[in-house]
A and B are shown apart, each in its own frame.
Chain A
Amino acid sequence: MRRLLVAVPYVWLVVLFLVPFGIVLKISLSDIALAIPPYTPTLDLSEGWTGFKAFLSQLDLENYVFLTSDDLYWKAYLSSLQIAFLSTFFTLLVGFPVAYAMARAAEEWRPALLMLVILPFWTSFLIRVYAWIGILSTEGFLNQFLMWTGVISEPLTILNTNTAVYIGIVYTYLPFMILPIYATLEKMDGSLLEAAEDLGCSRMQAFWLVTVPLAMPGVVAGCFLVFIPTLGEFVIPSLLGGSDTLMIGKVLWEEFFNNRDWPVASSVAIILLLILIVPIILFQRNQQINKEADQ
């Protein structure tokens, strides 16, 4: 019985991660073909061992070599990393004060505030991103409002630029930043700040010397929770970004559906995964350290 319980997560991992990963990895080593499925070779078990050997011999790293020959790909990776880094930073910039304010709000208000942070999840993500098109477009609400107040005389071009992508990402992933930071700030003992003040800190010093270090686990968790999905983000750049917005998620989509080049698309996906493994491992380690510190 106990073994069965332990086996559940392993089976889960094998069926839902390792097997699909193996399939994608195999496709990335194949060649493009005008067939269904659109790649070759496919494994034919009826020919037995020799068939398997012939199948293996046809796999190669050609697609990976191709990725290095066209600068589109590494530029897309770099641009994705840059957008992910910057939007994580902006999300932190907005999220920390919000989480801080929530944690310092009167206790009876906190559940309501928490609800407000989670509320957007009740609508479809896609609809919310579309809504931003309505806000940011040249005739959108934002431009109308700014022109009405007289701040600007010509409408701003925000939609279909990287700015719109940043706005979309910060908006979408803000709850993932706020919630872990709020969790660490909320359980912080208020007397720690009084103790810091008592020992000669100004309010500002107490914030930097006590609040910030104690919020660090939440900040790190929030940053990873934003950074990891942002790196492979596809919907936001393709709806809000312009033609010059280069993100690897978009490239991946184009390879699969516009070019129908599954092998190259698969190799793009494999590289993306490898890039993501580093922050994921760091994230896991952060969680582990926190767990140990709590004991």
Chain B
Amino acid sequence: MAASGNNEVFAPWKDRDAVPLIRIDQITKRFGDFTAIDNVSLDIYPQEFFALLGPSGCGKTTLMRMLAGFETPSEGRITIDGVDMASVPPNKRAVNMMFQSYALFPHLSVWDNIAFGLRRDSQDKDQVAARVEEMLKLVQLSQFARRKPHQISGGQRQRVALARSLAKAPKLLLLDEPLGALDKKLRQETQFELMDIQEKTGTTFVIVTHDQEEAMTVASRVAVMNNGQLVQVETPEVIYEQPSSVYVADFIGDVNLIEGSVAALGEGAELAWAEGRASLIGQLGAALSKGQSATFAIRPEKIAISSDEPLDRRNRVRGKILDIGYLGNLSTYHVELPEGPVVKCEVGNRSRIERRDFTWEDEVWLSWSDTAGLVLAR
């Protein structure tokens, strides 16, 4: 996440005076009968690390390709830095893209790949060379400059692709699933490297990914997309803690969803979910009226598990342990409630040798605070 120099939090989207770098204005894109992007409007600000997140086929790649100029919108307008992009071809845009396949030129060396874009601007030779060396240093590949792409590893190729797309110092860098081809460990390391480089260069990054963890880690804001529409655009914290819909809550991280109807609306909301049981209490996450059917969303790590009834909490349910998953850093309990739903609950394993309090078939109490859960429209 890009942070500004002083202690102020970087949040230009909250600043009414901030001028967005990219304005996506009521964009629609149709391929024949299929609507890939359905009336999307979005502002992206300078120096943001913006993530487009969604399942495959949600339109995130199409949206990005329109920013690069490889697709033209069927309706609507895109402006970058105040200039309408409608008639600007890809090679005339101050936008560079890092391709999912990296698209490194196999007949050129690492050095020539990075120099490729610079040479098109007919800069003089020394300038090109200096810039290429600078980029090689940035991605720590100086000793591989003479190699061909097929002679280096996947992780190195990824960095060459990044260096090549940054070489022309674009106003906007687009990254199409940049880490998809790397293994998990390398991916996590590279995520932090990407953030470092983004901060160092001050370039605006737009990343497309289907990996919610990746989006959460690197991005200053995340746009969750589904069926060609933006479902929610917010910071990772808000997306996780205040999802605007069941779709977002379910797509980002793990969540327990309990169906019911709104019983009362006060400071929070109460959800009647089973005959003869106390209502579940949570925060109101959407505009709802009394009696409307709704969903209660609660994250597994916000649920406490105990053998005795926790009388100090209003949200408490009793159930039987169905499954235990030991993940090392935490344990997951699947607890079946007699009313039907199975609730997932995560407990951190803080000390190394922990007494296992619970085992299969144990009767346990699950509880959570009044503010831990959200009541969302179904």
Contact = CB atoms under 8 A, between A and B. Distances in A.
A192 B105 contact: yes
Chain A CB count within 10 A is highest, among B89, B96, B116, B148, for B116
Given A191-B99, A194-B70, A293-B150, A201 B120 contact: yes
Contacts of A192: 103, 105
A191 B91 contact: no
A194 B90 contact: yes
A260 to B, nearest CB: 54
B164 interface: yes
Given A194-B90, A198-B91, A199-B168, A214 B101 contact: no
A200 B99 CA distance: 15
A200 B69 CA distance: 12
B167 to A, nearest CB: 8
Nearest to B116: A199
Nearest to B167: A199
Interface in A181-219: 189, 191-192, 194-202, 205, 209-210, 213-214, 216
Chain B CB count within 10 A is highest, among A191, A199, A202, A216, for A199
B168 A191 contact: no
Contact of A200 (B91, B101, B106, B107): B91
Chain A CB count within 10 A is highest, among B90, B103, B150, for B103
Chain A CB count within 10 A is highest, among B68, B95, B97, B168, for B97
A196 B116 contact: yes
Given A199-B116, A200-B121, A205-B120, A213 B107 contact: yes
Contacts of A295: 150
B70 A199 contact: no
Given A189-B101, A194-B70, A194-B103, A199 B164 contact: yes
B103 A189 contact: yes
Interface in B79-108: 89-91, 95-97, 99-101, 103-107
Q: Tell me the dominant secondary structure on chain A's binding face.
A: helix
B101 A191 contact: yes
A205 B164 CA distance: 18
Contacts of A194: 68, 70, 90, 97, 99, 103
A198 B105 contact: no
B150 to A, nearest CB: 7
For chain B, the bracket of interface size reads 20 to 34
Nearest to A292: B150
Interface in A153-200: 189, 191-192, 194-200
Nearest to B121: A200
Contacts, number: 58
A195 B91 contact: no
A226 B276 CA distance: 88
B117 interface: yes
B107 A199 contact: no
B68 A198 contact: yes
A189 B161 CA distance: 15
A293 B148 CA distance: 9
A198 B90 contact: yes
A199 B106 CA distance: 16
Nearest to B120: A200
A292 B99 CA distance: 26
Contacts of A195: 97, 99, 103-105
Given A192-B105, A210-B105, A199 B99 contact: no
A216 B105 CA distance: 14
A293 B151 CA distance: 9
A208 to B, nearest CB: 12
B91 A201 contact: yes
A205 B89 CA distance: 14
A105 B314 CA distance: 66
Contacts of A214: 106-107
A221 to B, nearest CB: 16
A209 B103 CA distance: 14
Interface in A61-98: none
Contacts of B97: 194-195, 198
Contacts of B165: 198
Interface in B114-132: 116-117, 120-121
A81 B287 CA distance: 85
Contacts of A197: 70, 89-91
Contacts of A196: 105, 116
A211 to B, nearest CB: 11
Nearest to B90: A197
A201 B121 CA distance: 9
B150 A202 contact: no
Interface in B121-149: 121, 148
A209 B90 CA distance: 17
Contacts of A213: 107
A148 B319 CA distance: 94
Interface string A220-259: 0000000000000000000000000000000000000000
Nearest to A200: B120
B96 A199 contact: yes
Interface in B193-208: none
Nearest to B170: A198
Interface string B164-186: 11001000000000000000000
Interface in B56-76: 68, 70
Contacts of A293: 106, 148, 150
Given A189-B103, A191-B103, A192-B105, A200 B70 contact: no
A199 B117 contact: yes
Nearest to A216: B107
A197 B100 CA distance: 16
14 contacts: A191-B103, A194-B90, A195-B99, A195-B104, A196-B105, A197-B70, A197-B90, A198-B165, A199-B96, A199-B117, A200-B117, A200-B120, A214-B107, A293-B106
Interface of A: 189, 191-192, 194-202, 205, 209-210, 213-214, 216, 293, 295
Given A192-B105, A293-B148, 7 more contacts: A191-B103, A194-B103, A195-B104, A197-B89, A198-B68, A198-B91, A201-B91
In the A-B complex, the 9 residue pairs with the closest CB atoms: A199-B117, A200-B120, A195-B103, A191-B103, A197-B90, A213-B107, A191-B99, A198-B97, A200-B91
